[in-house]
Amino acid sequence: MVVIMEIFLYFLLKQKKRFLIFRADFIILLGIIILFRLLFPLELPFTHSIYLGSVMNPIQSFFNFEFAPGVNMLELFCSIWVVGICFFGFIYFRKIHNSKKVISIISQTVQKNKVSSFIEIETKYDYPVWITDLVSIPMVLGLNEIILIPRKNFSQSQIEVILRHEIQHVKNHDIYIKQFLNILMIIYWWFLPIYWLNNNLNLALEIRADAKATNGFSKKDILNYAYTLVDLEDRIDDITFIDKSLSTSANFLLQENSCTLSYRINYLTKSNFKKKSNAILLAFLVVLPFISNTIILEPWHDYPNQMDNTFSDNDLIENGYLVKNSDGTYTLFYNGNQSVIKDPSVYLDMGMEIK
């Protein structure tokens, strides 16, 4: 079900005309629901099992297969999973540690300003603005709430676009969504669609930041905003090592993938961001996690008493009985068949009758 929701998210983002119907708030909410569905893959009381033996039985048999004495395939894969989590978790925390060191180094050489030095802004959004030669692309360090701008001859209009966009990332708490996604990528490192979700959700965050940054703009102002993004793309150098070192804890104004900017420009110029998503669509998203939990596929095996020459314990107890022989042994009678046994304790414990 998670894969189906991810395909739906991809469908909304990549089919540009669909964004005229589904707004940024809908897409972000869908992305967050997918994240929580991955984090809490639980069965609910109303979950209904669908027994699909033709598909699930071979899967169960594969994972139950013992490739070594006492060790089956499921235990092997779980061990690999845990090792992968430890490995990618180590890489993640090392990146966080390195980004803190880079920020410390940058802070010693930057030109420090405030947002109010460039544009009019409310005091609570008057974040620090650092101008430095050490980065090649504008970004915001979300956890630190610091905006970094490369030392270039940007015009006033370009500075305004950069600041309004990065401020919006802080307002939206996008860095926390990004970190939440990073943690899920560590947990589900083997699940290839999670990387697809990462790209799509990052695009959705950029679209939302653009939408809110241009809220209240006239059509002309929105076109100027879009033109500025294109102009900045042409002026910005390639992503540097320092930029990549900060990528774990920052939101970039522009991404390495030029297709991302193309989609953003399309949404800016063709979408009506002032209009919110339909309330019915948003309500559907709220119940979507519960709908996705309504069914679960499970393996199915025939009951033994439905197979030739087999019977269940209950059937044996109900239709069988024991007779004690003169030599101390017992004879088990069941459906016209009989068998001599020496120790009847197992059958007696099960409640079988002695005649």
Tens digits of per-residue pLDDT, 118-161?
999 999 999 999 999 998 889 998 788 899 999 988 889 899 99
Which pLDDT score is estimated for 91?
A: 95
> Which residue reads 């119907």 in tokens?
21
Q: Do 220 and 274 have their domain in common?
A: yes
First to last CA, the chain: 57
Q: Which of 170, 184, 177 is nearest to 127 (CA)?
A: 170
More confident residue, 52 or 73: 73
- 269 is written with which tokens? 């110029």
Which pLDDT score is estimated for 130?
A: 94
Q: Which of 53, 133, 79 is nearest to 298 (CA)?
A: 53
Q: What is the mean pLDDT of the chain?
A: 81
Q: Which of 34-43, 103-112, 233-242, 325-334 has the highest mean pLDDT?
A: 103-112
Looking at residue 204, its amino acid is A
Which pLDDT score is estimated for 113?
A: 94
Distance in angstroms (rounded) separating the CA atoms of residues 97 and 108: 18
Which pLDDT score is estimated for 78?
A: 94
- Distances in Å between the Cα of 250 and the Cα atoms of 121, 174, 179 are 22, 9, 10
Which pLDDT score is estimated for 281?
A: 67
SS3 152: coil
Which pLDDT score is estimated for 166?
A: 93
H or E element in which residue 315 lies: helix 313-319
Indicate whether 132 belongs to any domain: yes
Indicate whether 202 belongs to any domain: yes
Q: Do 51 and 129 have their domain in common?
A: yes
Which pLDDT score is estimated for 114?
A: 95
Q: Treating both helix axes as pointing N-terminal to C-terminal, what angle do 193-213 and 258-270 enclose, rounded to 10 degrees? A: 40
Which pLDDT score is estimated for 94?
A: 93
Which pLDDT score is estimated for 77?
A: 94
More confident residue, 280 or 180: 180
Which pLDDT score is estimated for 153?
A: 86
H or E element in which residue 72 lies: strand 71-72
Pairing of strands 48-51, 295-298: parallel
Indicate whether 264 belongs to any domain: yes
Identify the domain boundary among 252, 275, 298. Answer: 298
The residues, any chain, with a CB within 8 Å of residue 56's CB and separated by 6 or more, are: 297, 298, 299, 300
Indicate whether 308 belongs to any domain: no
- 301-315 pLDDT, tens digit per residue, is 665 555 555 666 777
Q: Do 244 and 339 have their domain in common?
A: no
Q: Do 162 and 230 have their domain in common?
A: yes
Q: Do 234 and 344 have their domain in common?
A: no
Indicate whether 44 belongs to any domain: yes
**Which residues form the domain of 158?**
2-298
Identify the domain boundary among 273, 298, 323. Answer: 298
Q: Do 218 and 256 have their domain in common?
A: yes
- Distances in Å between the Cα of 57 and the Cα atoms of 99, 138, 297 are 47, 53, 11
Q: Do 246 and 327 have their domain in common?
A: no
Q: What is the mean pLDDT of residues 188-193?
A: 88
Which pLDDT score is estimated for 256?
A: 58
Which pLDDT score is estimated for 6?
A: 63
Instruction: Please give the full DSSP string across 17-32, using - where no structure is assigned.
Output: GGGGTS-HHHHHHHHH
Q: Supply the Cα-derived Rg of the chain in whole angstroms.
A: 31
Indicate whether 303 belongs to any domain: no
- Distances in Å between the Cα of 323 and the Cα atoms of 137, 184, 340, 345 are 89, 63, 9, 13
Indicate whether 306 belongs to any domain: no
Q: What is the mean pLDDT of residues 94-113?
A: 91
Q: Do 219 and 341 have their domain in common?
A: no
Q: Do 143 and 281 have their domain in common?
A: yes
Q: Do 327 and 197 have their domain in common?
A: no
Distance in angstroms (rounded) separating the CA atoms of residues 288 and 97: 37
Q: Which of 120-134, 184-198, 212-226 has the highest mean pLDDT?
A: 120-134
- Distances in Å between the Cα of 153 and the Cα atoms of 60, 117, 232, 236, 283 are 63, 16, 11, 11, 47
- 216 is written with which tokens? 């209240």
pLDDT over 70 at 335, yes or no: yes
Q: Do 117 and 145 have their domain in common?
A: yes
Q: Do 317 and 290 have their domain in common?
A: no
Indicate whether 304 belongs to any domain: no
Overall number of domains in the chain: 2
Residue 85 DSSP class: H
The residues, any chain, with a CB within 8 Å of residue 89's CB and separated by 6 or more, are: 186
